[in-house]
């Protein structure tokens, strides 16, 4: 009896020492075919003593429909005080469970709830915690619970990747400014994928173009316009990262292009994910960049695509100054000579970006 009490106290102290409790929807992402049922888990990630939980999960009802829910393995073997699975709106379900009173509780980590949906249309949706409550031994709500949403990718042969890069012109202290956000066009400036959107999110720095090559000097097999967020992560419009359907997982060489920065390519071919967590390509690490050039160190060990290539010929040279900056200086808006991406073409673009980068070239091989 005393040893069991000691273990319980030890686990409780460990839970308190960990601070905020964490709950996640797994797997993330979940993949599914159209008309396929799939099950996700609400998982308690931390060492926490609990009696139960309530999850309010929202989703896109045009992509998935709620089917059923069941208690997770963490609660197996205990009589339930209640278990409720109730759709509250077309896009929201509430699932609540609690162990019968009498001093019973369980310790995480473990599975709290299993939720089954049907995929009804190709595309993407996020299973998002609209609200969440975790209950203590006494039945009270535990404060400071961090929740991690889950993504669902619906359709045949998905391939996905998280890619990160910085733009020198907008970079400052671990993030990028969004000073030109209100002049970013709704249509991507890249002819290879001139996608049009209804809005530009506030965190978007600019459009970029992602190219996938099967060989280092091959023609692009896939070209996708993407948003670059202020945190450095690239994503397709209304997606959390790069998600392709009916696509091979590769391996692919990944090229990132920007309208007035030098392009960069991954140092090796990358296998995209088709299940499980997305692979990560970090182009802020120079070892991840093909040829190790065409970039600028913005902090110790952190590189960004070099600014100053107004005509996108792969080099920062006098043409970018004479044929672009001189003609555009004094203008405000979305201009190729706005090398610091603040919405204005001014002497600072020339002095702070173009001059210090003159002579740099992109190391991305020309496509054969």
**pLDDT tens profile 331-355:** 999 999 999 999 999 999 999 999 9
Proportion of the chain above pLDDT 70, given as a percent = 94
Sign of the dihedral through C-alpha 178, 184, 190, 194: positive
Nearest to 278 by CA among 235, 237, 246: 235
User: Which residues, listed in sequence order, are joined to residue 264 by a DSSP beta bridge?
Assistant: 256
Return the structure tokens found at 354. Answer: 């173009």
Q: Look at the domain 19-154 and name its fold.
A: Immunoglobulin-like (2.60.40)
Q: Which of residues 326 and 16 earns the better pLDDT score?
A: 326
- Give the domain 159-357 fold: Immunoglobulin-like (2.60.40)
- DSSP codes joined into one string, 220-231: PSEEEEEEEETT
Residue ranges with strand state E in 290-339 = 295-299, 302-305
| Residue 12 reports pLDDT greater than 70 | no
- Please state, rounded to an integer, the average pLDDT across all residues of the chain: 94
Q: In the 3-class helix/strand/coil scheme, how is 85-131 assigned residue by residue?
A: EEEEECCEEEEEEEECCCCCCEECCEEEEEEEEEECCCEEEEEEEEE
C-alpha distances in Å from residue 340, one per residue of 51, 82, 202, 286, 315: 54, 58, 18, 21, 17
**Higher model confidence: residue 10 or residue 196?**
196
Residue 112: alpha-carbon gap to chain centroid: 25
Question: What is the SS3 assignment for 281?
Answer: strand
SS percent in the chain: helix, strand, coil, step 5: 15, 45, 45
Average pLDDT over residues 15-35: 84
The predicted structure's pLDDT at residue 15: 43
Give residue 18's pLDDT. Answer: 44
* CA distance from start to end of the chain: 75
Residues 6 or more apart whose CB falls under 8 angstroms from that of 311 comprise 319, 320, 323, 324, 336
Residue keyed to tokens 């393995």: 73
Query: In the structure, what pLDDT confidence band is assigned to residue 9 with cuts at 50, 70 and 90?
Result: very low
- Alpha carbon distance 285, 27 (integer Å): 28
List phi, psi (to 5°) of 16.
Answer: -65, -35
Question: Domain-by-domain residue ranges, the chain?
Answer: 19-154, 159-357
Q: How confident is the model at residue 22 (pLDDT cuts 50, 70, 90)?
A: very high
Q: Which residue, 363, 257, 362, 351, is CA-closest to 316?
A: 362
At residue 11, the pLDDT reads 43
Nearest Cα residue to 115 out of 147, 53, 69? 69
pLDDT higher than 90, residue 281? yes
Q: Within 10 Å of residue 121's Cβ, how many Cβ atoms?
A: 14
Q: Which pLDDT tens digit goes with each residue over 85-125?
A: 999 999 999 999 999 866 688 999 999 999 999 999 999 99
Per-residue confidence band for 138, with pLDDT thresholds at 50, 70 and 90 = confident
DSSP 300: T
pLDDT the model gives residue 19: 59
In the structure encoding, which two tokens stand for residue 301, read together? 């060990």
Q: Where are the alpha helices (DSSP H) in 241-367?
A: 318-320, 326-328, 347-349, 355-357
pLDDT in tens, 151-181: 999 999 999 999 999 999 999 999 999 999 9
* Cα(73)–Cα(319) distance, integer angstroms: 65
């Amino acid at each position: 009896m005393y040893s069991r009490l000691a273990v319980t106290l030890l686990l409780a102290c460990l839970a308190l020492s960990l601070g905020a409790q964490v709950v996640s929807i797994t797997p993330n992402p979940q993949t599914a075919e159209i008309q396929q049922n799939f099950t996700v888990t609400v998982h308690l990630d931390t060492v926490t003593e609990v009696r139960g939980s309530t999850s309010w999960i929202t989703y896109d009802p045009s992509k998935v429909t709620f089917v059923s829910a069941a208690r997770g393995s963490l609660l197996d073997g205990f009589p339930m005080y209640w278990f409720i699975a109730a759709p509250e709106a077309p896009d929201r379900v509430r699932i609540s469970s609690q162990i019968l009173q009498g001093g019973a509780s369980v310790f995480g980590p473990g599975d709290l709830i299993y939720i089954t949906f049907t995929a009804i249309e190709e595309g993407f949706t996020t299973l998002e915690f609209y609200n969440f409550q975790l209950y203590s031994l006494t039945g009270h709500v535990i404060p400071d619970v961090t929740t991690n949403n889950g993504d669902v990718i619906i359709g045949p042969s998905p391939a996905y990747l998280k890619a990160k890069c910085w733009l020198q012109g907008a970079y400052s202290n671990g993030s990028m400014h969004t000073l030109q956000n209100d002049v970013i066009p709704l249509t991507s400036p890249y002819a290879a994928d001139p996608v049009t959107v209804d809005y530009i999110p506030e965190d978007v720095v600019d459009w970029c173009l992602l190219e996938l090559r099967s060989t280092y000097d091959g023609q692009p097999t896939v070209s996708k316009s993407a948003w670059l967020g202020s945190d450095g992560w690239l994503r397709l419009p209304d997606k959390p990262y790069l998600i392709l359907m009916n696509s091979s997982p590769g391996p692919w060489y990944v090229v990132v292009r920007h309208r007035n920065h030098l392009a960069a390519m991954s140092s090796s071919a990358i296998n995209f994910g088709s299940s499980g967590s997305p692979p990560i390509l970090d182009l802020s690490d120079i070892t991840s960049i093909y040829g190790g050039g065409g970039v600028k160190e913005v902090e110790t060990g952190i590189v960004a695509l070099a600014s100053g290539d107004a005509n996108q010929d792969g080099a920062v040279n006098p043409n970018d100054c004479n044929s672009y900056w001189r003609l555009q200086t004094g203008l405000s808006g979305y201009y190729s000579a706005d090398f610091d991406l603040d919405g204005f073409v001014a002497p600072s673009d020339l002095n702070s970006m173009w001059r210090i980068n003159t002579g740099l070239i992109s190391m991305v091989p020309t496509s054969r």
